[in-house]
Amino acid sequence: MDPMVELDTQPWDRPAPERAGRLSMYGVLPEEFTAMGAPGRGEHIFGMIQRPWEYREGFPRLSREIREWLAANFDTALPEVAECHASEDGSTKLMLRLGDGECIEAVHMPRVVRNPRVTLCVSSQVGCAMGCAFCATGTLGIRRNLTAGEIVGQVLTALRKLGPERPHAITLVFMGMGEPLHNLEQVHRAIRILNHTKGLNISTRRITVSTSGLVPGIERLAYLEPRPWLAVSLNATTDEARSALMPVNRAWNMARLRQALGAWPLGDREKLTIEYVLVGGENDTPEDADRLADWMGELRRGHNVNLIRMNEHEAASFKEPAEAQVDAFVARLKARGCFVTVRKSRGRDVQGACGQLVKNGKDSELRSANC
């Protein structure tokens, strides 16, 4: 078959379905409230609904006129917590139900340093079109894009339930369900809202978008403002192996992906992250480590390799790597001048770790679990 014909049929070439229904008020910027004829200052309304520290049930600090205007013109509901699973390691997996009954997952991971800091892992789509062989979400296929209001809503629901309130203590990673660059418009709108000085004001240095390597999306995001930091999931070191694990590689191969990263306009002290899931017996040899270092080339200086042990799940037969393989892989990368971290996967016991986020669909028997 002509390869181009095959490419035309790939699911990520088609826009994902969008949600019908009313616009969420959490997806609206201050100037848009004003332009839409709000009976008050757009910035005031935005600040009251976006800042967790201003939140009071029913928004009593907004005038009755504004509250009625919002209720008449927007969907004012946040995603609901359908299930909440506290892990032994301190992280919490939240299953959130959206207005149309679809469910997504977000993972709240406190890092106890001197102050309570939290990394929040959020979803960008219901399901995912990319079909990576090792990923539980990938087995679902794509159901729909999240709207910006739903992405922001996820963050606000998680922060209202589990904290913290303040922007300096929050790190956001788009590493939950979905391929964020397959939903770039809504993901970027959400980032504009979450980064807005009148709202949560989360710095772009603390927002990371992780992609499986949708090159056109990387090239568009590179020139959008505000621009989050970028992580790319490489996960293999030859085109043959990568195409087998990640179908996206058949459209944009490793050389093309590397070219896009080389063209990323780095900001001051900005780092790229190369994520690499170590799958036992598949991509975890010292030769793989060497090829990974070769592929990175110049990027070895000043950027990060983040190794993730394969989290096993029922949807795939892949296994986690042997510890000796992980140690040898790390040692080889370090010897080749890479800066390497091994991710501590959080929430494994509640199926909240990378690649384990599978729950979706309309579930009539959702229950409140252990928090």
Contact 311, 320 (CB under 8 A): yes
Of 42 and 127, nearer to ligand SF4 (C-beta) is 127
In angstroms, rounded to a whole number, what is the distance separating the alpha carbons of residues 27 and 189?
Answer: 8
Q: Which of residues 176-235 bind ligand SF4 (CB under 6 A)?
A: 178-179, 212
Cα 271 to its chain centre, rounded Å, is 17
Q: Does 308 bind ligand SF4 (CB under 6 A)?
A: no
In angstroms, rounded to a whole number, what is the distance separating the alpha carbons of residues 90 and 44?
Answer: 35
Residue 277 near which of ligand SF4, ligand SAH, none (CB within 5-8 Å, type-dependent): ligand SAH
How many CB atoms within 10 Å of residue 143?
A: 19
Q: Which of residues 85-104 bind ligand SAH (CB under 6 A)?
A: none
Q: Which of residues 153-182 bind ligand SF4 (CB under 6 A)?
A: 178-179
- What minimum distance in Å lies between the beta carbon of 327 and ligand SAH? 18
Residue nearest ligand SF4 (C-beta atom): 138
- What minimum distance in Å lies between the beta carbon of 231 and ligand SAH? 7
- What minimum distance in Å lies between the beta carbon of 134 and ligand SAH? 5
Which amino acid belongs to residue 210?
A: S
* The residue to which tokens 């195409």 are assigned: 243
Binds ligand SF4 (CB under 6 A): choice among 130, 194, 236, 358: 130
Of 177 and 200, nearer to ligand SF4 (C-beta) is 177
Active-site residue, 84 included: no
- In this chain, which stretch among 62-70, 92-100, 129-137, 249-257 interacts with ligand SF4, using CB under 6 A? 129-137
Q: Which of residues 122-161 bind ligand SAH (CB under 6 A)?
A: 134-135
Strands (E) located in the chain: 80-86, 92-97, 103-112, 116-121, 125-127, 142-145, 170-174, 207-211, 229-233, 273-278, 304-309, 339-342
Binds ligand SF4 (CB under 6 A): choice among 104, 135, 274, 353: 135
Q: Which class for 328: exposed (0-12), middle (13-18), buried (19 or more C-beta within 10 A)? A: middle
Q: Does 308 bind ligand SAH (CB under 6 A)?
A: yes
In angstroms, rounded to a whole number, what is the distance separating the alpha carbons of residues 224 and 201?
Answer: 17
In angstroms, rounded to a whole number, what is the distance separating the alpha carbons of residues 123 and 136?
Answer: 14
Q: Which residues of 95-124 are buried (b: 16+ CB within 10 A; e: fewer)?
A: bbbbbeebbbbbbbbbeeeeeebbbbbbbb
Residue 311 near which of ligand SAH, ligand SF4, none (CB within 5-8 Å, type-dependent): ligand SAH
- In this chain, which stretch among 63-71, 76-84, 93-101, 306-314 interacts with ligand SAH, using CB under 6 A? 306-314
* The residue to which tokens 């009313």 are assigned: 22
- What minimum distance in Å lies between the beta carbon of 11 and ligand SF4? 11
User: Nearest 5°: phi and psi at 155?
Assistant: -65, -45
Q: Does 138 bind ligand SF4 (CB under 6 A)?
A: yes
CA-closest candidate to residue 112, choices 156, 163, 155: 163
- What minimum distance in Å lies between the beta carbon of 172 and ligand SF4? 16
Active-site residue, 354 included: yes
Reading the block at residue 52, the tokens are 């967790």
- What minimum distance in Å lies between the beta carbon of 56 and ligand SAH? 34
Q: Per-residue DSSP letters for 266-322?
A: --TT---EEEEEE-TTTS-SHHHHHHHHHHHGGGGTT-EEEEEEPPP-TT----PPP
- What minimum distance in Å lies between the beta carbon of 165 and ligand SAH? 26
List the catalytic residue out of 103, 128, 135, 354. 354
Which residues contact ligand SF4 (rule: CB under 6 A)?
Answer: 128, 130-132, 135, 137-138, 178-179, 212
| Residues forming the active site | 105, 354
Which residues contact ligand SAH (rule: CB under 6 A)?
Answer: 134-135, 175, 179, 210-212, 233, 235, 275, 277, 308, 310-311, 354-355
